[in-house]
Amino acid sequence: MAYSDKVVDHFNNPRNMGSFKKDDADVGTGMVGAPECGDVMKLQIKVQNDTIVDAKFKTFGCGSAIASSSLATEWLKGKTIEEAQKIKNTDIVQELNLPPVKIHCSVLAEDAIKAALADYQKKTDGQPTGTK
């Protein structure tokens, strides 16, 4: 099985790799894993006025998992929280041409987005500013 050009491109030049400070009030962190293959993904968003101004990821897993999360961070930037909720794993599958055996990688990326958004919302709901 060969990876699509887009997967290879994201794998060789991952966008937005890195991390933010987890405890910052404007940062949402999603950490997810795929129990089947043991891939681990961390995806973070930085939010200002309901808009995602920056996103970063760190993924330890296969090429498709890296590409899925790299693409996810690209898509997240500039979106509002509400728009971000709408990103579906099927969009990622389509964009990256993922084969059926790699669909779980895109699911992982969607889960990571959801987890990051939920983490951010949890932070803002209770405590508008400051502490963790």
Partner 1 sequence: MGYTPCQFLLMDKQQSPPLLDTRRQLQMARSMCWHCQSEVTGEYFCDRCVKVQPVSKETDYFTCLGFPRRLMLDPQKLETKFYELSRTFHPDFYQTKSADEQTISLSNAAVLNTAYRTLRDPIQRAEYLLALETGSVKDIRTSPPADLFEEILELQDTLEEYRASDRASDHGHQLRATLQTEQEALERRKEGMESQLRQLFTDWDQLQDAGEATSLTRVERDRILKQMRDLLSHRTYINNIVNDLAAAIV
The binding site for partner 1 (CB under 8 A) comprises 31-33, 35-40, 42, 58, 60
CB of 80 to partner 1, least distance (A): 26
CB of 68 to partner 1, least distance (A): 17
In order, the DSSP letters of 7-39 are HHHHHHS-SSBS---TT-TTEEEEEEEETTTTE
CB of 39 to partner 1, least distance (A): 8
Q: Smallest Cα–Cα separation from 84: which of 58, 44, 52?
A: 52
Put the strands of the sheet holding 39-48 in their side by side order.
27-34, 39-48, 51-60
Residue positions annotated with a catalytic role:
37, 105
Residue closer to partner 1 by CB (options 37, 81) is: 37
Residue closer to partner 1 by CB (options 80, 88) is: 88
